[in-house]
Amino acid sequence: MRPRRLAAALLATAACAAAVPRSSPPDAATDAERTAALAQDQRADDLERALSALSLEDKPPDCARACEVVEQICDLSQRICLISGRHEGDADLASRCAAAEQRCRRSRARVPPSCSCQRR
């Protein structure tokens, strides 16, 4: 009987060990999340340059376009910060979130006063 009990105990232990997922800690950002945050950050930079180009034109501002660009910038900021929020302690993602929030505020401030953008 002893060998059977020993075999059963070993099988149960092996089954439990195999059932435990071997992954990174829950707060470690995945490569896909880092790539997404970087892509969103780069897209927001591109949009900020587009907003600058709109304000350099010698004609009245295209308020609809300016408001749309600002909302896209702020939406990307929220997405970046959501990723950062899932990974507390990740200095790179926290820094990206802070920069994205500043970019959103800066973009909102750059919209001409004659435009009345509605926040979504």
Residue 57 Ramachandran class (φ > 0 left, ψ -120 to 50 alpha, else beta): beta
Backbone angles phi, psi at 58, to 5 degrees: -90, 15
Q: Is the pLDDT reported for residue 7 higher than 80?
A: no
Global pTM reads 0.72
Q: Is the pLDDT reported for residue 15 higher than 80?
A: no
Instruction: For 36-91, write each residue's pLDDT tens digit.
Output: 999 999 999 999 999 988 877 778 888 999 999 999 999 999 999 999 999 988 99
